[in-house]
């Protein structure tokens, strides 16, 4: 069963309950964030970079530590292109299943991997997106306690089940609005199609007057909106 139709409903239920997470930016600004989870990947991430570069667009990448350690040169290329970097855990294990010590360890190990590859200090990399978007109030409490910023989503086209490039683009275009936080994947699941998807998607969004910003900019806009 595809969950895609349910994600907008999850969003409407969860977003008001956990207002300290970043779910979207300012609804009064035509700024949106394109984000990529599960990388860096030796093939798919460079393909994504090439498209972003072609349109001079800055995106945000939520990385798995294990993938950074496998492809440090690609991680470095993403960082040097000026994209925003966040954490997605070390190896995609659900945060809710980890003990507090294991959770802390998986985030710190990922920060170390990013530091080794990109020379970004741990305090520069503190945005965290939980794998599969799964978290509990206890998870969030720990993240805040350790000074991380939880980043969620407002548009999830379920690209990892590979419904086809056009379907993914269509789902995003139906849901996108001011401040949207769009989740795509450049890892082993869904990454095969991601460059082709954004190659179609970006011109459509630009045509509608959207500006692409990083997750960091959305945080700033969300703050000024309250």
State pLDDT tens for residues 28-39. Answer: 999 999 999 999
Q: Single out the catalytic residue among 37, 38, 127, 186.
A: 37
Is residue 1 predicted with pLDDT exceeding 80? no
Q: Single out the catalytic residue among 185, 186, 193, 216.
A: 185
Residue 202 falls within a domain, yes or no?
A: yes
Residue 1 falls within a domain, yes or no?
A: no
Domain count for the chain: 1
Domain of residue 212: give its range.
Answer: 36-224
The reply to whether 53 belongs to the active site is no
What's the pLDDT tens digit per position in 203-223?
A: 999 999 999 999 999 999 877
Residue 71 falls within a domain, yes or no?
A: yes
Provide the pLDDT for residue 225: 60
Domain CATH for 41 = 3.20.20.370
Provide the pLDDT for residue 133: 84
Is residue 177 predicted with pLDDT exceeding 70? yes
The reply to whether 88 belongs to the active site is no
What six digits make up the tokens of 148? Answer: 């991380």
Q: What is the mean pLDDT of residues 86-113?
A: 96
Provide the pLDDT for residue 134: 86
Residue 38 CB partners (closer than 8 Å, separation 6+): 62, 64, 67, 88, 92, 185, 186, 187, 188, 189, 190, 191
Residue 185 falls within a domain, yes or no?
A: yes
Is residue 109 predicted with pLDDT exceeding 70? yes
Residue 19 falls within a domain, yes or no?
A: no
Residue 91 falls within a domain, yes or no?
A: yes
Residue 9 falls within a domain, yes or no?
A: no
Global model pTM greater than 0.75: yes
Provide the pLDDT for residue 4: 67
Residue 74 CB partners (closer than 8 Å, separation 6+): 39, 40, 41, 42, 45, 46
Is residue 99 predicted with pLDDT exceeding 70? yes
Average pLDDT taken over every residue of the chain: 94
Lowest mean pLDDT among 6-10, 124-128, 163-167: 6-10
What six digits make up the tokens of 67? Answer: 């993938």
């Amino acid at each position: 069963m595809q969950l895609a139709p349910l994600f907008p409903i999850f969003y409407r239920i969860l977003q008001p309950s956990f207002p300290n997470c970043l779910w979207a930016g300012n609804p009064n600004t035509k700024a949106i964030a394109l984000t990529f989870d599960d990388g860096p990947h030796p093939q798919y991430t460079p393909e994504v970079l090439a498209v972003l570069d072609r349109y001079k667009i800055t995106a945000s990448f939520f990385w798995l530590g294990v993938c950074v350690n496998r492809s440090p040169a690609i991680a470095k290329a993403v960082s040097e292109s000026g994209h925003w970097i966040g954490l997605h855990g070390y190896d995609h294990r659900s945060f809710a299943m980890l003990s507090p010590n294991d959770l802390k360890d998986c985030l710190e190990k990922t920060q170390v991997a990013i530091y080794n590859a990109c020379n970004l200090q741990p305090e520069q990399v503190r945005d965290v997106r939980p794998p599969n978007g799964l978290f509990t109030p206890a998870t969030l409490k720990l993240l805040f306690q350790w000074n991380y910023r939880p980043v969620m989503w407002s548009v999830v086209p379920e690209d990892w089940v590979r419904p086809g490039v056009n379907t993914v683009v269509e789902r995003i275009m139906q849901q996108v609005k001011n401040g949207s936080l769009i989740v795509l994947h450049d890892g082993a699941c869904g990454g095969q199609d991601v460059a082709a998807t954004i190659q179609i998607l970006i011109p459509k969004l630009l045509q509608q007057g959207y500006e692409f910003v990083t997750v960091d900019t959305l945080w700033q806009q969300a703050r000024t909106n309250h």
